Structure 1
Amino acid sequence: MPREVTERIALGMVEAWPDRVSHIEGHAIYGWDGLLVALSNLADDELNVTLVEREPEDPLGALSRAEWLFRAHGRVLGVELERGRHPALERAARMLGLYPAVTRPAMAAEVADLAPPAPREGVSFRRVRTREVLAAMVELEVEIFPTERDVAERLFGPRTLERTGTRMSIATVEGRAVAMAYVHVHEGAIGVFGVGTLPTFRRRGIGGAITAFAIDEASEGADLAWLQPTALGRSVYEAMGFRPVAMWQVWTLPAARRERAHGV
C-alpha cells in the first residue's frame, strides 16, 4: 500500500486518542511542537500516551516536556511511534532512557476488499447504545485483557455513549456477551481497537466476525480499515484481507525505572 495509507493511520491514531479519553473525569489533552499527549487520568500506563502529529523542531525538548507532564500526572511516559518514521524522535527517546518495549504491526485493508469470516451459529452482534449493554462491555474488558475493574468502569463510563467519533459493538451467545470491539472513524479511515473474545469462546470465528461487524457499522463513506493486532490475532486479520503496512513501537522506561517512577 502507498505511503498515504501509513500517514492516514498515523493521523487516525492522533484523532482517536483524545476521543477515547475525553469523556473521563480528570483527563488532559496537551499539544505542542508536533506532539500530542493524551492523559486519561486512569491508573493504567497503556491508557496514557504521547503521539506525533508532525516532526518536532526540538525533539528532545518536546519529549522532555511530555515526560514532565506524565510525571506530574503520576504516570510513566509512553510514546507511540511508527518505526523509522521519526528518527530524530527515536534518538531523543533513547537519550531520555526510553526503549521500544512493544512492537506490533499496523495492518490495513480496503473496506471493499475485506472477507469477513462466518461465525458459528448462535452468535449475534449489536451496537452498544444503552447503559445495560455498556455494563456488559465493562465485564468483557475486565475478563479479556484483563483491566482493573475501576479502570474499566471509568473507561466505559456512561458518558462513553455520548461520544460521536467512537462506535462500540459486542457479540453475544445465548444472551451472554462474549466479544467486543470499537472503532474510530476519521476522514474515511476506520481504526479498530479493543477487539477481544472470552477465552472459552475463541477459535470459533467470533473475533474476526465482531471486527467485520464493527467495521460494517461504520463503513458509510469509508474506504480504509486499519488496526494494530497482537500476535494472537494477526492470523485472524490476515485471513480477512488485512496486510502489514508499517511497524509501530511503544517507547517507555525499562521495568526497574518504571517501578521507581511509580514508587514501587
Structure 2
Amino acid sequence: MANLRAHWLAWGGSDSIQDDLVVYRSGLQHGLLNGVLRLSGRSVPEAAADAEQQLANLPWRWWVGPDSDAGVAEALRERGYSRNGSMPIMAVRLDQLSAPPSPAGLIIERVDGPDSVTDYVDAYASSFGVGHTLRALVVDAESSLRTDLGRLIRLVGRIDGRAVATSAVLISNGVAGVYWVGTHPTYRGRGVGAALTAAAMVIGRQHGALVCTLQASALGAPVYQRLGFTQVSEVVLYSPPSGL
C-alpha cells in the first residue's frame, strides 16, 4: 500500500506519504487521477470535510485499503458516499517468475522522450477511459510526474510499429508495484497484456525487488493469476455524494 501511495502521489500530492489523510490531486477531470489514499488516526467527518475541500470540482475516489483505520468504509457510507467497486490486491514472489511466451510481432520498449510518452498514453487511453479531450493534458502530466518517491519505469508494446499496450513498474518501499497494464481492444486475447506485465516484473527483479504487487481489474485478474499472483487483500473505492 505504501507503493500504491507513492505511485499516485507522483501525480500530485503532499510532500509526505505518512500523513493521517493522504490526498492526491492531479487537477485533471478523471476520477482515477484524484482521490484519497488512506485515513489513519483522524475522524472520518473531519477528514472527509478536508478532502472534499481539497478535491472540490474534480471527479475523485476514496480508496479504502488494509492500511486505513477500521470503520472508515462504514463512516463514508453514513456520510452519503457510494461504493464504486473493489480491486483485489495481488502479489507474487519475483524469484518464482515464469515469463509467458511473447506474442508474435510484439516489441516492448521503455518509454523515453516526449514522442514515446504520447504513444504510451494513446495505448492505455481506451483501457483507462482517457478521452480525446484529456489526452494532451494526461501526456503533460505523465511528462512531469514526481520522481522523488521511487523509480518509475514505463513500457510500451508495439505490433507492426503501432503502440498497442502498456505497463509501468514502480520500485518503491521495498517492492515492485505494477500499474497501467492496458491493451488496445483490437489486440486483446493474444497474451499482449501478460507479456507487458511480465516485462515489468523482470525489471522489478533486476532492481532488487523480491515481491511484486498490483491492484487487479476484473479483466486483468485471471491474467495475473496465470503469472503466479495471488490475492493478499482488497481495496474498495468510494465515490463522494453528488455535488461535491
- What TM-score do you get using the length of structure 1 for normalisation? 0.82
Q: Report the counterpart of residue 58 of structure 2 in structure 1.
A: 75
**Could you tell me how far 1:79 is from its partner in structure 2?**
0.9
Whole-angstrom CA distance in 1 between matches of 2:145 and 2:30: 23
Q: Any conservation in 1 of the 2:33–2:60 contact (CA below 8 Å)?
A: no
Is 1:116 the counterpart of 2:99? The answer is yes
Pair 1:180 & 2:166 matched: yes
Match of 2:6 among 2, 15, 37: 15
Paired residues for 1:1-264 under 5 Å: 10-19=1-10, 21-22=11-12, 29=14, 34-52=20-38, 55-71=40-56, 74-82=57-65, 86-157=69-140, 160=143, 164=147, 165-219=151-205, 220-253=207-240, 257-258=241-242, 260-261=243-244
For residues 58-108 of structure 1, give each alpha carbon's deviation from its aligned partner in whole angstroms, at most 9, with x where no partner exists.
23211221122222xx12452101269532322321232112211110110
Distance in 2 (alpha carbons) for counterparts of 1:161 and 1:91: 36
By percentage of residues, which structure has more helix?
A: 1
Deviating runs (4+, > 4 A) in structure 1? 30-33
Q: Which residue type is aligned with residue 212 of structure 1?
A: A
Matched position secondary structure for 2:120: helix
Question: Is the Cα–Cα contact under 8 Å of residues 127 and 184 in structure 2 kept in the other structure?
Answer: yes
Structure-1 separation of matches of 2:152 and 2:133? 21
Whether the aligned pair in 2 keeps the contact of 1:180 and 1:196 (CA below 8 Å) is yes
Kindly tell me: are residues 121 and 153 of structure 1, through their superposed partners in 2, closer, same or farther at Cα, counting changes over 3 Å?
same
RMSD value, Cα: 2.3
**1:112–1:153 CA distance, 2 compared to 1 (3 A):** farther
Q: Which amino acid aligns with 1:222?
A: A
2:157–2:196 Cα contact (<8 Å) kept: yes
Q: Is the 8 A contact 2:114 2:143 kept in 1?
A: no
Q: Secondary structure at the match of 2:143?
A: helix
- Checking the alignment, whether the CA contact within 8 Å between 2:117 and 2:142 is kept in structure 1 is no
Distance across 1 between alignment mates of 2:145 and 2:24: 19
Q: Secondary structure at the match of 2:220?
A: helix
Give me the TM-score of the superposition, normalised by structure 2: 0.88
Using a 3 Å threshold, how does the CA distance of structure 1 residues 161 and 119 change in structure 2: closer, same or farther? Answer: farther
User: Offset of 1:183 from its aligned partner?
Assistant: 1.8
**Whole-angstrom distance in 2 between the partners of 1:85 and 1:159:** 28
Gaps of 5+ in 1: 1-9, 23-27
Structure 2, unaligned stretches of length 5 or more? none
Structure 2 Cα separation of the partners of residues 144 and 77 of structure 1: 18
CA 1:114–1:137 in structure 2 vs 1: closer, same or farther (change >3 Å)? same
Distance 1:172 1:180 in 2: 9
Paired with 2:119 and 2:91, the residues of 1 have a C-alpha distance of 29
CA contact (8 A) 1:30 1:36 kept: no
Separation in structure 1 between the aligned mates of residue 100 and residue 77 of structure 2, nearest angstrom: 42
